[in-house]
Amino acid sequence: MSCRRFFSIPVLSVILVMGLVYYITLFVFIDDWVGLRSSAGKLNALVFTFLASLCFFSLSICVLLDPGRVPSSYAPDVESSSWSGSNNGTEARKCDKCVAYKPLRTHHCRVCRRCVLKMDHHCVWINNCVGYANYKAFFLLVFYASVACIYSTVLLVCCVFKNAESYAGNVPLKTFMVACGVFMIGLSITLGTLLGWHIYLIAHNMTTIEHYDSKRALWLARKSGQSYRHQFDLGVYKNITSVLGSNIIKWLCPTFTRNTEDGINFSASRDS
């Protein structure tokens, strides 16, 4: 873990936006709607504080946790050439930049200057790669942030409907609320779209890199009149558990849940 990753403009910007959304939600939207001292106000403030805490906790894990480093002792099993149990045959893949062998689904990150296990992409907003070890935390960060933004937008709408008459005669306050509305709606749509994208990837057991790589394979399969299925697509439920873990109760816990896969060997579909 490296705390120095926090000291980058994108990460600090994310934290600043989190703090801004938290402040205006509690001290503007909720307070102007039902009041923070009321039972409804306290309940809404407690729920939103809980969501904000989960967002920040998920962000911290994304930033601090190593996404997955290829063991220095790794060497491909050249004798294994057929599907077996939970592991699949691994062809020799060598990284020209690291001058070392790399497992399947591992890619070299030009920013981090090393290979990352099951690399999805390098995210500037967490100043880290999203890979095998921190992908669950990244997904939950997007999930909790989307829920929090939608919740805040609903509170904003409730606040505006209740105080519409008082806002009408106050131009600066009206402008502020409109700006907040545009900001929250835009943030909700952006995060919601990103969440939908990663739900799709998890359901098909793909990374962002693999999705774009599979486009050519899909085109070739259709051209030859064959069906195409991603190599690691095991079915929706198994795909989900490979990322979120086998324990459903812990699916929404940002901490990494270890499963049967080790980031080097992955279960694969026989009919891919």
**HSE-up (13 A, CA, CB side) for residue 136:** 21
User: How many CB atoms within 10 Å of residue 140?
Assistant: 23
List the beta bridge partners of residue 116: 69, 107
159 is catalytic: no
Distance of alpha carbon 213 from alpha carbon 219, whole angstroms:
11
Distance of alpha carbon 183 from alpha carbon 177, whole angstroms:
10
Q: Which of 55, 62, 115, 123 is catalytic?
A: 123
**Nearest CA-CA partner of 184 in 15, 17, 7:** 17
Could you give the residue ranges of the DSSP H alpha helices within 163-244? 164-168, 171-203, 208-223, 236-244
Q: What dihedral do alpha carbons 57, 16, 199, 255 form, nearest 10°?
A: -10
Distance of alpha carbon 192 from alpha carbon 194, whole angstroms:
5
Contact predicate 30/155, CB 8 Å: yes
Q: Which residues are catalytic?
A: 123
